[in-house]
Amino acid sequence: MNIKVLGSGCPSCIKLEKYVKLAVEQLELEATIEKVTDMQDILGYGVMSTPALVIDGKVVSTGKVLSPKDIIKLIG
C-alpha cells in the first residue's frame, strides 16, 4: 500500500502525516508513507486544498485533517 500526504508542511499537513502513521501502526499494515510538498506534484493530483490524502494513487480526502479512526476506515 502506498499512502501520500500532500501539503506544504503546514501544521495541519504535519498532523495528518502523524495520524496516518498512527493508523498504519494500529492496523499493523505494511505501507509506504510519503510526504509530497512540491506544488506541481500536488496540483498533478487535481488537489486545490491541502492537506490531502492519496491512497494507492486515489485522492480520498482534501482540505481537512482526518482522525486516525477516519483514516483506518479509508484504509481498511
Length, in residues, of the chain: 76
Q: At residue 69, does pLDDT exceed 80?
A: yes
Tens-digit pLDDT profile for residues 8-54: 989 999 999 999 999 999 999 999 999 999 999 999 999 999 999 99
Domain ranges of the chain: 2-64
pTM (two decimals): 0.94
Q: Which residues participate in catalysis according to the annotation? A: 10, 13
Q: H or E element: which one contains 62?
A: strand 58-62
Q: Which CATH architecture has domain 2-64?
A: 3-Layer(aba) Sandwich (3.40)
Q: H or E element: which one contains 61?
A: strand 58-62
pLDDT confidence bin for 76, thresholds 50/70/90: confident
